[in-house]
Amino acid sequence: MEKTSPVEILVTKEPPHGAVLRVMAVYKKTEHLADVVRRCPHHQNGDAADHRSRLIRVEGSQRPQYLEDYNTKRHSVTVPYEPPQPGSEITTILLSFMCNSSCMGGVNRRPILTILTLETSDGQLLGRRCFEVRVCACPGRDRKTEEANSAKPQTGAKQVKKRKSAPATDPDMCKRKSSSSTDEEEVLMLPVKGRERYNMLKKINDALELAEKEAKNKTRASKVLLPSSGKRVLQKAERSDSD
Annotated binding site: 40, 43, 99, 103
- Strand, helix or coil at 76? strand
Hey, which residues does 118 pair with through a beta bridge?
21, 127
Separation CA 40–CA 24 (nearest Å): 17
Hey, what long-range contacts does 102-106 have (CB within 8 A, 24 or more apart)?
102/136, 103/39, 103/40, 103/42, 103/43, 104/40, 105/40, 105/41, 105/42, 106/38, 106/39, 106/40, 106/41, 106/43, 106/55
5 by DSSP, 3-state: which? Answer: strand
Known binding-site residue numbers for Zn(2+): 40, 43, 99, 103
Q: At residue 137, what are phi and psi to the nearest 5 degrees?
A: -75, -35
Do 100 and 111 meet the contact criterion of CB atoms below 8 Å apart?
no
How many alpha carbons fall within 13 Å on the CB side of residue 143? 6
